[in-house]
Structure 1
Amino acid sequence: MNTKHTIPSDEDLTAFIDGELTAEEAARIQTMVEEDKSTAERLEFLARASLPFKQAFAPLLSEAPREKLETMLAAIPAQQSARPASTPAFATRRRFLGALAASLVAGIAVDRAVIGLGRRFSAKDENGEWRAVVADYISLYTPETLAGPVPAREVQANQLAGLDEKLGLSLSPESVSLPGIDFKRALMLQYDGKPLAQIAYLDPETGPMALCIVKSDAGRKAPDFESRKGMNVVYWSNETHAFMLIGHAASERMMAIAEGVRGRTSA
């Protein structure tokens, strides 16, 4: 049977992320990801599913019928594939055991900590995950979310000073101003236990926009562009921090705005 265009299952996508497919199988899924939007979105979802379900449901997992499942799984021959010799065959069965036990007992989708995805997928772009989380958050903003007068310069400076303290930056209202776009607020959030600065703006033409910053040791990277949640994103980094500008403005305008603020905030 020709499987070239068969939609991959979650198990296939998980194995792809985990580097456990043969070269032929991996190439097939890579082609599907590039050609089929729903497959690409599902792959991104599985790669980002990092909520601590494993810890939350540990008591339930401890009550799962593990001995019976162990016996059943032990009877399944290990699939011969091109996985690295350093990855024993039982490791995949163990990850499946954890996922199956959680599904049977809790009735939920188990997170990547249970099925062993780790952070290898995000190694291609270690900043991609935090940008995805920011996009999820900013996608909830409407113009009404940011309604109200523009804060006075002194208020802006005080809010930015709070970001400086956590991130080791030196931001001023002038350095983060965006041409023709109203500064609304600066606040400190947290992602993966690390401070995440968000400076929110309201563009009279396209609505909410945000400049977000986290500490990063990934090194200097030139601006790049992507789309998330129907918004345009320009992202870059210097030696100490990673930045992203996200909004609904056209890509060319976003790039121009980002280039300006990048020049004023570069270390």
Structure 2
Amino acid sequence: MSTKHTIPSDEDLTAFIDGELPAEDAARIEAIVKEDERVAERLEFLTRANLPFEQAFAPLLSEAPRQKLEAMLAAIPAREGATTGSAPAVSRRRILGALAASLVAGIAIDRAAIGIGRRLFPKDENSEWRAVVADYISLYTAETLAGPVPGREDQAVQLASLDEKLGLSLSPEAVSLAGIDFKRALLLQYDGKALAQIAYLDPETGPMALCIVKSDAGPKAPDFESRKGMNVAYWSNATHAFMLIGRIPADRVQEVAENVRSRLSS
């Protein structure tokens, strides 16, 4: 990965998402995104963010020294070549976007502008749902999943609630992970589709999750990646996509994933 470019700020990335940049600047950022994984991940996060910026920050703006803020914004020089009366180079949307991005970093938020993500990340469209899950699981701590391990009957009841929406037949035995405690099964939603999350607690490394969503992308052999400081194994069959995520070592997540994949395929 090359480091011979300037990393775009959140303000610039937000303006890129909103289509506010000149063509030359937009092309430069798009090239950086394709080359720099860190910038690509940041853009993907900001692209998914669906924040009502004006509503969210209206209380702060109403309490702020308005005249002083307006004077500061007016003092920002316009771009070279801008016509008289044109907007300042840094728009109100971009300032609020940067502030919002800094406040919500690491928080899972449903995506809003999927088009840019698909254009810049064409190799694996399923990466979007994995990014959302990683954002969410990164907030888990051992205390999040504290409490007794549900008995087999309770596990079966929780899993049955997932089967109806996902068209699967999950059993406690099929989703058990050796040496890792089953904690709960939840039915969530992503992009209008049911998303199953089976949460576990590894006594050594903390929270883990097996997540499943319907997918028509076709079978895909297991692959591996890192997100939010966690290791991820992911694969798919003809009807569903799967991912196993946690802070366990990479070699162990591969071993555990292969074990559970073989049981879910049988």
Using the size of structure 2 for normalisation, the TM-score is: 0.69
8 Å CA contact 2:13, 2:43 repeated in 1: no
Question: What does residue 151 of structure 2 align with?
Answer: 152
SS in 2 for 1:119: helix
Change (3 A) 1:184 1:247: same
8 Å CA contact 1:7, 1:32 repeated in 2: no
Question: What does residue 249 of structure 1 align with?
Answer: 248
Matched ranges for 1:47-58 at <5 A:
47-49=47-49, 51=50, 53=52
Which whole-Å CA distance do the structure 2 matches of 1:258 and 1:143 have between them? 21
Q: Please, what is the CA RMSD of the aligned residues?
A: 3.9
**What percentage of aligned pairs have identical amino acids?**
65
Question: What does residue 193 of structure 2 align with?
Answer: 194
Per-residue CA distance 1:20-71 (angstroms, 9 max, x = gap): 779x94795257515xx4x34433333433x1649989xxxxxxxxxxxxxx
SS in 2 for 1:201: strand
Question: What does residue 45 of structure 1 align with?
Answer: 45
Per-residue CA distance 1:173-206 (angstroms, 9 max, x = gap): 1100111111111111111221110111111111
SS in 2 for 1:249: coil
AA matched with 1:46? L
8 Å CA contact 2:44, 2:117 repeated in 1: no
Question: What does residue 36 of structure 2 align with?
Answer: 33
Which whole-Å CA distance do the structure 1 matches of 2:149 and 2:92 have between them? 53
Change (3 A) 1:137 1:42: closer
Which whole-Å CA distance do the structure 1 matches of 2:254 and 2:179 have between them? 15
8 Å CA contact 2:145, 2:183 repeated in 1: yes
Once the two structures are TM-superposed, the CA of residue 113 in structure 1 deviates from its matched residue by: 5.7
Per-residue CA distance 1:200-231 (angstroms, 9 max, x = gap): 11111111111000111111011111111111
Change (3 A) 1:21 1:256: farther
Using the size of structure 1 for normalisation, the TM-score is: 0.69
Correspondence 1:226 to 2:225: yes
Is there any run of 5+ residues in structure 1 with no aligned partner, and where? 58-71, 78-95
AA matched with 1:231? M
8 Å CA contact 1:199, 1:211 repeated in 2: yes
Is there any run of 5+ residues in structure 2 with no aligned partner, and where? 57-77, 102-110
Which whole-Å CA distance do the structure 1 matches of 2:125 and 2:114 have between them? 20
Per-residue CA distance 1:51-107 (angstroms, 9 max, x = gap): 1649989xxxxxxxxxxxxxx9xx969xxxxxxxxxxxxxxxxxx9xx957559xx4
Which whole-Å CA distance do the structure 1 matches of 2:29 and 2:45 have between them? 18
Per-residue CA distance 1:226-266 (angstroms, 9 max, x = gap): 11111111111111111010111100000000001111112
Matched ranges for 1:16-31 at <5 A:
25=28, 29=32
8 Å CA contact 2:34, 2:120 repeated in 1: no
Matched ranges for 1:143-182 at <5 A:
143-182=142-181
Change (3 A) 1:216 1:116: closer
